[in-house]
Amino acid sequence: MTVLSRRAVLAVPLAVAGASGAAAEDFAAATRAILAGRAPAEGGIFLEIPPLSENGNSVDLSVRVDSPMTAEDHITAIHILAEKNPFPLVATFSLTPRAGRAEVATRIRLATSQTIVAIAETSRGAVHRATREVIVVLGACVETG
């Protein structure tokens, strides 16, 4: 049986607070890198994710973007970011007009309750953004040690 000292127990909240601060910095940096100075438009992008997830190890998510998907006007990328995950850029999907529709679906891991952000880039250089709050009962992506 492992016995933890009082000092070790009191250090846990400090370590978690430090990790969440680093995740916030990484999230902001990832968002800035994708946006590259462009202002995202709200609308035209639909992010579907359950508002409550019992287990953060597998959370269903889908993103759909209104786009004609022609050679002249199509979605080139859809990015999924999780605000409080250790690695906030969860996924990037590259699309071409041959996709036919600007729609992706996947499962992601979530460390804790947080905001999920979907950013879509168009061939014309515009970006669209949608956000959703997700409450996670049992988190994933947690480092122990």
Domain positions in the chain are: 6-138
The fold of 6-138 is Immunoglobulin-like (2.60.40)
What number is the average pLDDT over the span 58-67?
Answer: 97
Instruction: State the SS3 of 83-128.
Output: CCCCCCEEEEEECCHHHCCEEEEEEECCCCCEEEEEEEEECCCCEE
Predicted TM-score of the model (pTM): 0.81
Average model confidence (pLDDT) across the chain: 86
> pLDDT, tens digit, for every residue of 7-48?
443 443 334 344 445 667 899 999 999 999 999 998 899 999
Q: What is the DSSP string of 47-58?
A: EE--SEEEETT-
Q: Residue 87 corresponds to which tokens in the numbers above?
A: 């690695």
